[in-house]
Copies of this chain bind each other. A is one copy, B any other.
Amino acid sequence: MESKRNYVAADSHPMNGGEGPYIYVQNSKYQTGAVEASKEMIEEAITKHFDANKTLNSASSLNQIFLADLGCSTGPNTFLAVQNIFEVIQLKYQLEKRRHLDHSDDHVHQIPVTFQVFFNDHFSNDFNTLFKSLPPTRKYLAAGVPGSFHGRLFPNSSLHFVHCSYSLHWLSKVPSQVMDSTSPAWNKGRIHYTNAGKEVVKAYSDQYAEDMLSFLHARAEELVVGGLMVLLIPAVPDILLPSDTTNGTEKDLLGSCLVDMAKMGLVSEKRVDSFNLPMYYSSPSELKAIIERNEHFSIERMEKLNNPKKHLSLPNLQMRVLYLRAALEGLLQKRFGAEIMDELFNRFSKKVAESTFFLNPQNQNSIVLFVLLRRNPN
């Protein structure tokens, strides 16, 4: 027996837990929209690509489906996504059962199917809240799996379906070069690669590729052959610069607020210079090229998620500020202290309101990619 694992600790950046106006649960409506928008696509994915008989280990005769939601946070979006997958697979089974009703020796359809769902997020995630929020009427067994999804989380060939929503744009760490004052990629005066030099952008995109490849490598070992993976990934359209996008521009504005506060002596300039957000938004073509470097997956579908309720979920700029605060406050507090958060987000709120970029609705161009991968035979 060899010890073959490395449980590398990746940086964690939990969404705001607990209670209050800035917590993630209160400000995750935007993701809820994406979960709803992806519902039909997931249904189609399962109907078309999930071959229950072949995918399940028929040797074990146990008819058990193992499902994982990676980067689950504390709910409720994870429960919506899981419930949808659960129901569709269940329906598919019932249909097949009908079809095979006359084959009395067909043992696969005589045993009821049971579901085990693994909820994964970083060690610092609020699993207590997650567990207490588990829907009491659920028809699946639930477990929490703490740890970084850039490393191994599950046994070999143990999962049939993986779901990962709004998580893969988080990097496992800030690329070291952008914090190194001797490097050409030093990102002085900014907290993100938007509007930065090409060395900074390259350091970020290299880190993204490395993280995505680690993720795919680990999942390739954990998914059974024929297993499916649905990824919802915030991204940017192929032809746009980061500064042409909402995601890029808002981070740039937030950074400029910190720079302003540093000039006024409210935060340390050194701290601002060495602080960078570990988030990257790839383009569809960039992401496709990375996925294709892993030979164990075939891309069954990859397209822009059509979220018709997008404008409803973040109806105004104030909501967008709240949403960003819920997502980033934990990270910012750790670096700059809780006491400057109100000041920082008040300033940010003003800049967003005055920004010509945000005034033009045409510029609200964040996209989310729906990616369906299938585990190939080895």
Residues of A whose CB lies within 8 Å of any CB of B are: 1-5, 7, 9, 57, 59-60, 62, 64, 90, 93-94, 97, 112-114, 116, 118, 123-124, 126-128, 131-132, 134, 136, 138-139, 141-147, 152-158
Q: Which B residues lie within 8 Å of A1 (CB)?
A: 90, 93-94, 97, 112-113
**Cβ contact within 8 Å between B141 and A144:** no
Min CB–CB distance A99 → chain B (angstroms): 14
10 residue pairs, one from A and one from B, having the closest CB atoms: A59-B59, A131-B146, A144-B144, A2-B112, A143-B143, A1-B113, A127-B127, A143-B145, A3-B139, A64-B155
Give the docked Cα–Cα distance between A3 and B93 (Å): 13
**Cβ contact within 8 Å between A131 and B127:** yes
- Do A136 and B9 contact each other (CB < 8 Å), given the known contacts A127-B127, A131-B127? yes
- Given A5-B141, A60-B60, 15 extra CB contacts under 8 A: A1-B113, A2-B112, A5-B114, A5-B139, A59-B60, A62-B155, A64-B158, A114-B156, A127-B144, A131-B146, A141-B154, A142-B145, A142-B146, A142-B147, A143-B143
Q: Which B residues lie within 8 Å of A132 (CB)?
A: 123-124
Q: How many copies does the complex hold?
A: 2
**Cβ contact within 8 Å between B144 and A146:** yes
Q: Which B residues lie within 8 Å of A146 (CB)?
A: 131, 134, 142, 144
**Cβ contact within 8 Å between A141 and B153:** yes
Q: Which B residues lie within 8 Å of A142 (CB)?
A: 145-147
Give the docked Cα–Cα distance between A137 and B62 (Å): 34
Q: Which B residues lie within 8 Å of A118 (CB)?
A: 143
- Best-surrounded residue of A94, A114, A139, A147 (most CB of chain B within 10 A): A114
Min CB–CB distance A114 → chain B (angstroms): 6
Give the docked Cα–Cα distance between A146 and B112 (Å): 23
Give the docked Cα–Cα distance between A142 and B7 (Å): 11
Min CB–CB distance A316 → chain B (angstroms): 34
Among B2, B59, B141, B152, contact of A155 (Cβ-Cβ < 8 Å): B141
**Cβ contact within 8 Å between B136 and A141:** no
Q: Which B residues lie within 8 Å of A3 (CB)?
A: 139
Q: Which B residues lie within 8 Å of A123 (CB)?
A: 131-132, 134
Min CB–CB distance A83 → chain B (angstroms): 13
**Cβ contact within 8 Å between B144 and A114:** no
Min CB–CB distance A299 → chain B (angstroms): 27
Give the docked Cα–Cα distance between A234 and B128 (Å): 28
Give the docked Cα–Cα distance between A4 and B90 (Å): 13
Give the docked Cα–Cα distance between A57 and B156 (Å): 14
12 contacts between A and B (CB under 8 A): A1-B90, A5-B139, A59-B59, A62-B155, A64-B155, A114-B155, A116-B155, A124-B132, A127-B127, A127-B131, A141-B152, A142-B145
- Which residue of chain B has the shortest Cβ distance to A131 in the bound complex? B146
Among B60, B114, B128, B141, contact of A127 (Cβ-Cβ < 8 Å): B128
